[in-house]
Amino acid sequence: MTDADLNSEILLDHYRNPHHHGQIENPSAKQLEYNPVCGDTIQITVRIENDRITDIKFIGRGCSVSQGTASMLTDHVLGLSLEEVKKISQEDLLDMLGINLGPSREKCALLSLNTIKKCISQYENKSRS
Ligand code: FES
């Protein structure tokens, strides 16, 4: 089995058995995003304390790449500071997945990263006002 095969298996396992699935009550921020190409969705709720992610959950509807990535990414960002999450680039995310996705499947993977970042923007805008 190659590394790419193994990483595909890991992603599929996250899709079938998602981590952090659900919704947080009274979250610090909540964001729903969709992929305009297919209409698939990711909603993320997050709890932020002392500028750090202390809880995060997602729900959504879509392909194995979008939903599996959301599960992996919520594992990854839990406990990170907001600044650390803001620095996660598209390349970092694709490296983390370790699979060669075509451009349209990359959009599936990036949906959850964009959603998490919008949650942080929403939280920061709310904190400033
Ligand atoms: Fe819709 Fe992947 S096909 S997010």
64-123 per-position pLDDT tens digit: 999 999 999 999 999 999 999 999 999 999 999 999 888 889 999 999 999 999 999 999
**Which pair of structure tokens corresponds to residue 67?**
């939903």
**Index of the ligand 1 atom closest to the CA of residue 105:** 2
Architecture of domain 3-128: Alpha-Beta Complex (3.90)
Alpha-carbon Rg of the chain, whole angstroms?
Answer: 14
Does the structure show a pLDDT above 90 at 2?
no
Which pLDDT band, with edges at 50, 70 and 90, does 28 fall under? very high
Q: Where are the alpha helices (DSSP H) in the chain?
A: 3-16, 64-77, 82-86, 90-97, 103-128
**Which pair of structure tokens corresponds to residue 83?**
């600044």
**Index of the ligand 1 atom closest to the CA of residue 37:** 1
Q: Is the CB of 110 under 6 A from ligand 1?
A: no
The whole model's pTM is what? 0.95
Distance of CA 33 to the CA centre of its chain: 11
Q: Tell me the C-alpha distance between 41 and 4, whole Å.
A: 26
Q: Residue 127 C-alpha to ligand 1 middle, in angstroms?
A: 33
Indicate which residue's Cα is closest to atom 2 of ligand 1.
108
Q: Is the CB of 82 under 6 A from ligand 1?
A: no
Average pLDDT along the chain: 95
Mean pLDDT over 32-61 rounds to 97
Phi, psi of 21 (to 5 degrees): -90, 130
Q: Is the CB of 56 under 6 A from ligand 1?
A: no
Q: Residue 115 C-alpha to ligand 1 middle, in angstroms?
A: 14
Which pLDDT band, with edges at 50, 70 and 90, does 63 fall under? very high
Q: Tell me the C-alpha distance between 10 and 82, whole Å.
A: 26
How far CA 67 is from CA of 35, 49, 64, in Å, comes to 12, 26, 5
Residue 31: predicted pLDDT: 98
